[in-house]
């Protein structure tokens, strides 16, 4: 995947680290080799361009810039103001919402983005309605182990027996618990999320109850599909949209918060000073490079291939007799439910790693095992599509996974 120029850059970075900290350079080299000698099916990862790596590893890390553009608490911020402003402009352009949404590009991660979004519109103890974690929701959507679950009163909607979002359950719970916020979006959900339908439910609830329930979409996973038109957009529909920049967007590790203009002040305050200190301007520069890359026509084609490869791979598992949660996929990931094989997600993950295939175990709807062991594995096609995998490659990997699962099942 790496060109000669990329390899020259990587060699220069390695030499610079080695000159100062050889032990660190040795570990970095090992990780480079691991990444390049294994198949990566982790749905939340990707391989970034050298331009993204270079911006993330640049001298912009030297600058402190607490506050917002033109309202900083340190001097010397005029230049980083330019990069943060450009980054904001580009991300609004990527999602086509330059006039209708505000964006804060400072969150250090998706979790930080979600926490700041909650801080902007909730008070401790407020009720939030989000997707059940075992059905696909993220840790930051109210896990009791996460501060979201400790600070706020999360109520969860589920999926149906077919594995798709149970919109009737969502509607019922919305009326029962009158939440301040509804969160849609997930970590391990392979079907299209009907943002417009959820908006209509929230609007109907608000009209009837007099509540002002807000709607937030966490599109950490599907952001790239939204950009490329392979998933309906939450923009124009949701009051707040959060995402990560390092999954399907294929960029620097970090988070973004978009909000309707009237929430801009509250969101900015919730990021700084609410939940973060100085922004990472080197990462903001890298996020800006990511946005430029997403605006290129090649990016749309990349996402098209991610989605096609995913559908083909999921279908191959179905043909081999596996249970794919929700019966297939509309996006960049799918979940294999291994319950019937007797093999745990943990055992599958460990065996596959021995065989050079990297993925993660995941709870499945109606999970019977612990969250540590799980009955499923999550499979994503974004990273290897970046490295040029096509349908035949993914089909071959599906058969290698099948061999490993059969091997484990034979030992049960």
Report the catalytic residues: 64, 66, 218, 244, 247, 253
Position 220 contacts ligand PLP (CB under 6 A): yes
Residues whose CB falls within 8 Å of the CB of residue 248, separated by 6 or more in sequence, listed in order: 46, 221, 222, 223, 224, 225, 303, 306, 332, 382
DSSP letter at 121 equals H
Alpha helix ranges (H) inside 38-77: 50-56
Strand locations in 304-409, DSSP E? 323-324, 333-337, 357-358, 360-362, 376-380
Q: How would you classify the pairing of strands 376-380 and 333-337?
A: antiparallel
- Return the number of the residue (132 or 341) whose C-beta is nearest ligand PLP: 132
Position 234 contacts ligand PLP (CB under 6 A): no
Alpha helix ranges (H) inside 146-296: 147-151, 167-177, 195-209, 223-228, 264-269, 281-294
Among 163, 185, 279, 380, binds ligand PLP (CB under 6 A): 185
Closest approach, Cβ 303 to ligand PLP, in A, equals 17
Position 259 contacts ligand PLP (CB under 6 A): no
Position 283 contacts ligand PLP (CB under 6 A): no
Chain residues 106-135 in contact with ligand PLP, contact rule CB under 6 A: 109-111, 114
Window of 48-56, 213-221, 310-318, 323-331 that interacts with ligand PLP by CB under 6 A = 213-221
Residue 379: φ, ψ to 5°: -125, 130
Position 221 contacts ligand PLP (CB under 6 A): yes
Position 341 contacts ligand PLP (CB under 6 A): no
Closest approach, Cβ 48 to ligand PLP, in A, equals 14
Chain residues 236-255 in contact with ligand PLP, contact rule CB under 6 A: 244, 255
Closest approach, Cβ 248 to ligand PLP, in A, equals 11
Position 140 contacts ligand PLP (CB under 6 A): yes
Q: What angle do CA 199, 202, 208 make, to 5 degrees?
A: 140
Contact 92, 155 (CB under 8 A): no
Strand locations in 140-237, DSSP E? 153-157, 181-184, 214-218
Residue 215: φ, ψ to 5°: -120, 130
- Return the number of the residue (275 or 341) whose C-beta is nearest ligand PLP: 275
Position 143 contacts ligand PLP (CB under 6 A): no
Closest approach, Cβ 44 to ligand PLP, in A, equals 5
The number of C-alpha atoms within 13 Å of 288 and in the hemisphere containing its C-beta is 21
Window of 49-57, 84-92, 103-111, 293-301 that interacts with ligand PLP by CB under 6 A = 103-111
Window of 58-66, 85-93, 104-112, 165-173 that interacts with ligand PLP by CB under 6 A = 104-112
Among 218, 268, 293, 330, binds ligand PLP (CB under 6 A): 218
Position 287 contacts ligand PLP (CB under 6 A): no
Contact 191, 164 (CB under 8 A): yes
Position 136 contacts ligand PLP (CB under 6 A): no
**Tokens found for residue 279:** 């922004």
Closest approach, Cβ 289 to ligand PLP, in A, equals 18
**Tokens found for residue 39:** 């198949």
The residues facing 240 across adjacent strands are 216, 259
Provide the binding-site residues for ligand PLP, judged by CB under 6 A: 44, 109-111, 114, 138, 140, 185-187, 218, 220-221, 244, 255
């Amino acid at each position: 995947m790496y060109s000669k120029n990329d390899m020259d850059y990587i060699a220069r970075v390695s030499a610079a680290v080695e000159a100062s900290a050889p032990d660190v350079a040795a570990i970095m080299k090992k990780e480079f080799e691991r990444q390049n000698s294994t198949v990566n099916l982790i749905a939340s990862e990707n391989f970034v361009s050298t331009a993204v790596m270079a911006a993330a590893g640049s001298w912009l890390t030297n600058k402190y810039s607490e506050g917002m553009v033109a309202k900083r608490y340190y001097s010397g911020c005029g230049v980083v103001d330019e990069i943060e402003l450009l980054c904001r402009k580009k991300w609004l352009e990527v999602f086509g919402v330059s006039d209708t949404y505000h964006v804060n590009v400072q969150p250090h991660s998706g979790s930080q983005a979600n926490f700041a979004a909650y801080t902007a519109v909730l008070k401790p103890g407020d009720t939030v309605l989000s997707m059940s974690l075992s059905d696909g929701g993220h840790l930051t959507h109210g896990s009791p182990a996460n501060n979201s679950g400790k600070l706020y009163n999360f109520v969860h909607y589920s999926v149906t027996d077919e594995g798709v979002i149970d919109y009737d359950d969502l509607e019922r719970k919305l009326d029962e618990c009158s939440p301040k916020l509804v969160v849609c979006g997930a970590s391990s959900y392979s079907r299209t999320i009907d943002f417009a339908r959820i908006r209509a439910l929230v609007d109907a609830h608000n009209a009837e109850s007099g509540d002002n329930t807000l709607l937030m979409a966490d599109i950490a996973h599907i952001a790239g599909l939204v950009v490329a038109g392979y998933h309906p957009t939450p923009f124009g529909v949701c009051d707040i949209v959060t995402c990560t920049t390092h999954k399907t967007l294929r960029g620097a590790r970090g988070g973004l918060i978009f909000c309707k203009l009237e929430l801009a002040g509250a969101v900015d305050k919730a990021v700084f000073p609410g939940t973060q200190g100085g922004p990472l301007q080197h990462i903001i520069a890298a996020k800006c490079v990511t946005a430029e890359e997403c605006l290129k026509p090649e990016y749309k084609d990349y996402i098209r291939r991610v989605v096609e490869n995913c559908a083909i791979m999921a279908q191959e598992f179905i043909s081999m007799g596996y249970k794919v949660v929700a019966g297939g996929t509309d996006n960049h990931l799918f979940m294999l439910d291994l319950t019937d094989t007797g093999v745990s997600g943990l055992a599958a993950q460990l065996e596959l790693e021995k065989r050079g295939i990297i993925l993660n175990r995941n709870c499945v709807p109606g999970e019977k095992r612990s969250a540590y062991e799980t009955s499923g594995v999550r499979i994503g096609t974004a990273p290897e599509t970046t490295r040029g995998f096509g349908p035949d490659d993914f089909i071959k990997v599906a058969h290698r996974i099948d061999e490993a699962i059969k091997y484990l099942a034979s030992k049960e």
